[in-house]
């Protein structure tokens, strides 16, 4: 079951949005920020952003998540319409506790992929099915995906979503996240 649960205006430091929540079969409350009128539109800019407490909230320099979220919000605020889907799946789906365990291993020299494997966890456990439900709800005809992650492209295309363009969401590497970004590029195929 996928139905609108609530919506409200959400003025932000970057621009005005409408925030939507939906009832769904998952036990997580995902958020959907909509800029302008998207119903039935073609070429809708779309950012699929997975929760990163350390980056999004605490502005951690270990990853580029905060930078990507801010860039995406600024971009969406600069266009007439678009969507940001904020998925509550911390640490590529492994949860906050395991993410911090992985951080500890990274401090011993493991990369982000090796750390997950050493903990007996999947490299990436995220589920994007909620995204398809949102796109169907708004009757989106095609999207411009704001992402560096080829897995998101492949998933959307596999599900029949017309991805007409990729909008890169890049940040300057810092000493604290350079190894992490290089790992995402080399091991996970990100377009960085």
Q: Does 138 map to a domain?
A: yes
Determine the pLDDT at residue 186. 63
- pLDDT of 178 reads 67
The pLDDT tens digits for 63-121 are 889 999 999 999 999 999 999 999 999 888 888 999 999 899 989 998 888 888 999 99
**Residue 36 included in any domain:** yes
Q: How confident is the model at residue 182 (pLDDT cuts 50, 70, 90)?
A: low
Residue 104 lies inside a defined structural domain of this protein: no
Alpha-carbon distances of 163 from 77, 123, 124, 136, rounded to whole Å: 21, 25, 22, 14
Please check whether residue 150 lies inside any domain of the structure: yes
CATH number at residue 73: 3.40.50.10990
Q: Is residue 43 part of a domain?
A: yes
Query: For the whole model, what pTM was predicted?
Result: 0.90
183 assigned to some structural domain: yes
Catalytic residue among 124, 154, 174, 187: 124
Known active-site residue 126: yes
**Catalytic site includes residue 80:** no
Given 35, 47, 62, 126, the catalytic residue: 126
């Amino acid at each position: 079951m996928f139905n609108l649960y609530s919506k409200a205006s959400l003025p932000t430091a970057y621009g005005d949005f409408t925030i939507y929540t939906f009832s769904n079969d998952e036990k997580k409350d995902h958020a959907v920020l909509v800029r302008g009128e998207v119903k039935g539109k073609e070429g809708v800019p779309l950012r699929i952003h997975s929760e990163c407490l350390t980056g999004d909230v605490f502005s951690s320099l270990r990853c580029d998540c905060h930078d990507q979220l801010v860039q995406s919000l600024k971009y969406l605020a600069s266009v007439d319409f678009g969507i940001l889907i904020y998925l509550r799946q911390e640490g590529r789906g492994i949860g906050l506790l395991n993410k911090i365990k992985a951080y500890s291993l990274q401090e011993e020299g493991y990369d982000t992929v090796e750390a997950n494997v050493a903990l007996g966890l999947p490299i990436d456990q995220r589920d994007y099915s909620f995204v398809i439900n949102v796109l169907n709800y708004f009757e989106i005809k095609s999207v411009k995906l704001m992402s560096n992650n080829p897995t998101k492209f492949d998933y959307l295309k596999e599900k029949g979503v017309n991805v007409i363009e990729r909008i890169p969401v890049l940040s300057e590497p810092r000493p604290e996240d350079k190894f992490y970004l290089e790992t995402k590029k080399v091991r996970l195929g990100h377009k960085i």
